[in-house]
């Protein structure tokens, strides 16, 4: 607001100085009552009224935007959908209208809208002030258009970044707190703006990615997540028994009061996923709240290990063969390669027939 008022005041001062120093006004007209009224009362009062109108319009626009954002953030989701609390958690707990991500997105869009309204109101006020002062607005707008085209060609990457950021916010591709994969950068989103997305990887590295350079993005916490675990059982083990044990383990985990709130749907044991030389892979999946799949998977691994040990169902251990062979040592002498040259043989002694 302060820069806008200062700009309008400077415009008024320049215009007033131009009116006073105008060579088209004679000395008699310069000191007439009508001239002093126009210079000191008419144009300044109109400029002051314009400034007040612009300030009030900006205040009302920002207040309306803040109210809409506050309604989105503070409104709570219903406790049940069709009489089911679990359905309410599934619908509104992740990507619903009342999720935390949506609240952060609403605040970001609100900030952008406030900036846009300030720029638009300031531009309209400046153009109107120039017109009040008697300046030709057409050439000014034409010059501004040419300057905008020149800046657009010179700052294509910047425009591309802003357009990409605006599309990302409107489409709700990701938000603060999401775990995303942008190709070379993988981590948790810490900040989102129209130009840059900042995320932090698991080792603490902070990545700054320009929104215009994002070709594809994978979101691991959009709406809901899934803990996917492939349990490797020995090849000679009873697969039916192992599957029954896994079903018991996952259902006990889902009934635990601590983990019940994090699991959205009953866990499933899909069955044999693959056959490997080390054993049989049985896949277990659990649908969880966003960002909770890793904690659920760790707890599930621990319970599987404890239950399998109690049932004397050993998990296979992968074995690796040393690089030097099964019984070789690091200091063993390797045979020469097949392409090695033959051993050097001394030339035969010269015969007597070769002497002169």
Q: Are residues 80 and 197 in the same domain?
A: no
What CATH number does the domain containing 248 carry? 3.30.70.100
Q: What pTM was computed for the model?
A: 0.57
Which tens digit of pLDDT belongs to each residue from 228-283?
999 988 888 888 899 999 999 999 999 998 898 889 889 999 989 888 887 889 99
Picking from 154, 188, 210, the residue at the C-terminal end of a domain is 154
Q: Are residues 149 and 7 in the same domain?
A: yes
Q: Are residues 210 and 123 in the same domain?
A: no
Domain hosting residue 298, numbered range: 225-310
Phi-psi region of 80 (alpha: psi -120 to 50; beta: other; left: phi over 0): beta
Q: Are residues 187 and 89 in the same domain?
A: no
Does 260 reside within a domain? yes
Question: Residue 171: what pLDDT?
Answer: 83
Question: Residue 39: what pLDDT?
Answer: 62
**Cα–Cα nearest to 314, from 257, 247, 231:** 231
Q: How many domains does the chain have?
A: 3
Which tens digit of pLDDT belongs to each residue from 50-105?
999 999 999 999 999 999 888 877 776 666 655 666 555 555 554 444 456 677 77
Q: Are residues 180 and 142 in the same domain?
A: no
Q: At what angle do helices 43-74 and 100-132 cross, to 10 degrees?
A: 170
Q: Are residues 235 and 214 in the same domain?
A: no
Does 319 reside within a domain? no
Q: Are residues 52 and 92 in the same domain?
A: yes
Distance separating alpha carbons of residues 157 and 170, to the nearest angstrom:
20
**More confident call, 4 vs 304:** 304
Does 294 reside within a domain? yes
198: pLDDT confidence band, cut at 50, 70 and 90? very high
Which tens digit of pLDDT belongs to each residue from 200-231?
999 999 999 999 888 899 998 887 889 999 99
Q: Are residues 205 and 240 in the same domain?
A: no
Does 339 score more than 70 pLDDT?
no
Q: Are residues 75 and 127 in the same domain?
A: yes
Q: Dihedrals φ, ψ of 24, to 5°?
A: -80, -10
Q: Are residues 17 and 140 in the same domain?
A: yes
Q: Are residues 209 and 236 in the same domain?
A: no
Q: Are residues 39 and 112 in the same domain?
A: yes
What CATH number does the domain containing 211 carry? 2.30.30.60
């Amino acid at each position: 607001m302060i820069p806008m008022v200062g700009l309008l005041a400077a415009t008024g001062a320049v215009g007033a100085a131009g009116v006073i120093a105008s060579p088209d006004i004679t000395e008699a007209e310069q000191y007439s009552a009508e001239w002093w009224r126009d210079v000191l009362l008419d144009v300044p009062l109109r400029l002051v009224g314009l400034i007040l109108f612009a300030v009030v319009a900006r205040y009302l626009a920002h207040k309306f935007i803040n109210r809409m954002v506050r309604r989105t953030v503070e409104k709570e989701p219903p406790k049940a959908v069709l009489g089911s609390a679990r359905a309410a958690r599934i619908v509104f707990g992740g990507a619903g209208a009342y999720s935390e991500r949506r609240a952060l997105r609403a605040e970001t869009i609100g900030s952008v809208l406030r900036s846009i309204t300030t720029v638009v109101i300031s531009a309209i006020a400046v153009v109107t002030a120039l017109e009040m002062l008697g300046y030709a607005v057409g050439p000014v707008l034409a010059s501004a258009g040419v300057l905008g085209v020149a800046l657009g060609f010179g700052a294509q990457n910047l425009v591309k970044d802003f357009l990409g950021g605006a599309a990302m916010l409107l489409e709700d591709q990701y938000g603060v707190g999401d775990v995303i994969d942008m190709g070379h950068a993988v981590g948790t989103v810490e900040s989102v703006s129209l130009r840059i997305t900042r995320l932090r990887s698991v080792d603490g590295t902070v990545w700054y990615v320009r929104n215009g350079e994002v070709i594809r993005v994978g979101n691991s916490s959009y709406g809901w997540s899934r803990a996917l675990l492939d349990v490797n059982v020995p090849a000679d083990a009873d697969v039916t028994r192992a599957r029954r044990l896994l079903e018991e383990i996952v259902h006990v985990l889902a009934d635990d009061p601590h983990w019940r709130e994090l699991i959205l749907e009953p866990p499933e044991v899909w069955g044999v996923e693959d056959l490997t030389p080390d054993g049989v892979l049985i896949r277990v999946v659990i649908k969880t709240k966003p960002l909770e799949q890793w904690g659920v998977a760790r707890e599930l691994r621990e319970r599987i290990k404890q239950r399998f040990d109690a049932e004397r169902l050993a998990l296979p251990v992968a074995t690796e063969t040393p690089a030097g062979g099964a019984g070789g040592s690091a200091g063993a002498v390797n045979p020469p390669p097949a392409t090695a040259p033959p051993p050097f043989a001394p030339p035969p002694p010269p015969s007597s027939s070769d002497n002169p």
